[in-house]
Amino acid sequence: MLKQLTIREFVIIKELTLKFQQGLSVVTGETGAGKSILLDALGLILGDEADHEAVRYGADHSEVEALFDVPGGCAARKFLAENNIPDDPGKPIFVERHVNAGGGDTARVNGAAVDREVLVNLGMTLAEIHGQFANQGILDPARQLTFLDQFGNYRDLLARVRAAWDEMKRIEKALNDERAFMAQTADERITLTKTVAEMKKLKIKRGEYAELDEKQKELTKIKNIGEMLQAVQAQLVAGSGAERALIQANRLHERTRHFDPEALANLERHLGQSLQSTRDATAELQILMPNYEIDTSALIAVEERLAAFRRLSELHDSPPEEIMDLYERLSARLLRIQNAANLIAQLEDQLMDARREYNTNAQALSKARKIAARELSTAITGEFPPIRLGQAEFRVEVEDLPNNLWGPLGINAAVYTARTNKGSPFGAIARIASGGELARMILALKVILQRLQQTPTLIFDEIDTGVGGATAAAVGQRIALLAGDTQVLVVTHSPQVASRGTGHMVVSKGEINDVTYTQVKSLSPEERIEEIARMIAGAEVTRQARDAAISLLKEAQVPVKLSYAPPPANEPALPEPPPPPAPPPPPDVEAEARKAAEPEPAPAGTPGGTESSAPDTAVRPEADAPESAPAAESSAGEAAPPDKAMSPDIAATAQSSTPASTPPG
């Protein structure tokens, strides 16, 4: 519910704070006093486009702030969570809008900056404004279908249609993707077939490259050592090798050592040692060389196998040690491409089944909608006669959409049509009905649907324009019925509607230093009598007008019921709001009338920092009306007993006080 609205520097409002309660709050006042300004400010909170010319003259910007007290788990809280907007379910939702005189505006929700689109969507979950020129929500064809579905109470069928649609779309996407995949991989299939065949022919094993690499290193080592040993052996024992040379050197030394044995002794020793070392090395070579003999064909085979790995590595830009992984990937890819045709056939069969499932459920939903449309048409048309739409008929038309417009909500569109005169053709309500007629049609629709929709706050702007007497009383009764489950705010010129309020505010103009300001005042029970009497009689309030006001207030305490019982809500109901404080005993309206016989001007509110709230002492409907309370013609489904009918004089006075057409305040 709307808990508080603060307005600063807006049109002719300096600063104003209004506090609201659950139930029906009425706003009255002379034409031009500024009632529409309050709704314009609230419209900014709900996402209306900003008008920079609405900034009060002399100010650089306007500010509008609102607190909405809604329970956790409701649509507004879910919207905040889905859009990552900060929220504490234990606290009211705080919405603010600043409009700069020079252009530009900003919006914040719980302190987080949001754009206007977010504000519009959030506003739809918080409140609805209905009036002669503010019914766009109900006139939206998409929402008209939603209202019908809420009325029809076939949630499970809707869920089956949505699930079938989602499954059908999933399969369609998979089929389209597979067909595109098959077309895109035609050339790839040829290349992969050749590549995989070549790799398969190699009979690659996991870890083989590492083994081959190690084997190549070992064989290469053996080959190199063996070649070295052979080369050393050749140097030692060949025809001109070291051993033969040392033998010859020792022989030469032997022939000449007798010439100077002492001088040549060391040389003899070295030559002998060298020869012996050479012979020892030769013997060692004979021992080592068998260990390093190699079959070069094995090394060649290993090197050729490694070369095949490296060729694949370069061709596919993959490390050679990962060739086995590459082979498995390419094989899987080829198998995937080869299976595309089979998968397409399977998906085509699945799609046919999914379409049959969707059509079956969508046709069942269409049938249910057409039954619900007839019931809703009858229910709403039945609400028309009491609100002066006796010749009007309402008809919900359920149209079958062409295949290309089918969707998760089924195969239908709902169009709300009406005719205001018998024999005339039906047409869209926005085109057939005038502003006032449309507003009252919307009221009838809300009476039927509100228990299913659970919109936290409803605002009605002068929907009683151009009606009076029993018609205005019927409008008031229906608004009061809505207020039984929902917070309702109504701007009205009708005393019959105003008398139904549990809280009553009066909008007026005042001047300070030759500057005009809009002021709002909450009325006490005595002041309500005087205000309703003014609405009946006009500028000069008479005793008869006060008596009529008292009668209307008494009549408002008589409970009214709707003859049509809507189906149970198809969505979980919002938690019930806390009960209001127990009201004090009903005031002695006769004494109040005597006290008001010599009225004093109601004190005007202050232009700055004014705080208004619906008083706890306002006249409230009681469970049982006082036995002496007169009741007007009951047009909400249960006729009032004859002994409680409003007196003709009072009825005539009340009816004559309402002009045929009243411009918006």
How far apart are alpha carbons 186 and 382 in whole angstroms? Answer: 67
Minimum mean pLDDT range among 177-191, 357-371, 462-476, 493-507? 462-476
- Residue 564 pLDDT grade (very low, low, confident, very high; cuts 50, 70, 90): low
Strand partners of residue 512? 515
**Residue 116 pLDDT greater than 90, yes or no:** yes
Q: Quickly count helices (H) and strands (E) in the chain.
A: 21, 16
**Residue 136 pLDDT greater than 70, yes or no:** no
- Percent of the chain exceeding pLDDT 70 equals 82
Mean pLDDT of the 572-588 span: 41
**Residue 377 pLDDT greater than 80, yes or no:** yes
- Residue 367 pLDDT grade (very low, low, confident, very high; cuts 50, 70, 90): very high
- Residue 158 pLDDT grade (very low, low, confident, very high; cuts 50, 70, 90): very high
Angle between helix axes 208-237 and 323-338 (nearest 10 degrees) is 140
For the ranges 136-145, 240-249, 358-367, 554-563, the one whose mean pLDDT is highest: 358-367
How far apart are alpha carbons 390 and 425 in whole angstroms? Answer: 16
Mean pLDDT of the 522-545 span: 91
- Our CA dihedral for 161, 162, 163, 166, rounded to 10 degrees, sits at 120
Residue range 422-455, pLDDT digits in tens: 889 999 887 887 777 787 888 888 888 776 767 8
**Residue 63 pLDDT greater than 80, yes or no:** yes
Q: Strand, coil or helix: what is 509?
A: strand
Using CA atoms, how far residue 441 sits from 126, 384, 398, 436, 540, in Å, is: 22, 7, 19, 9, 34
CB contact at 8 A, 171 and 350:
yes
Whole-model pTM: value is: 0.61
Closest by CA position to 418, among listed 434, 401, 399: 434
- Percent of the chain exceeding pLDDT 90 equals 39
How far apart are alpha carbons 279 and 243 in whole angstroms? Answer: 7
pLDDT score of 627? 31
- Residue 407 pLDDT grade (very low, low, confident, very high; cuts 50, 70, 90): very high
Closest by CA position to 475, among listed 528, 436, 503: 436
Gyration radius from the chain CA atoms = 48
Residue range 615-642, pLDDT digits in tens: 333 333 333 333 333 333 333 333 333 3
Mean pLDDT of the 82-93 span: 93
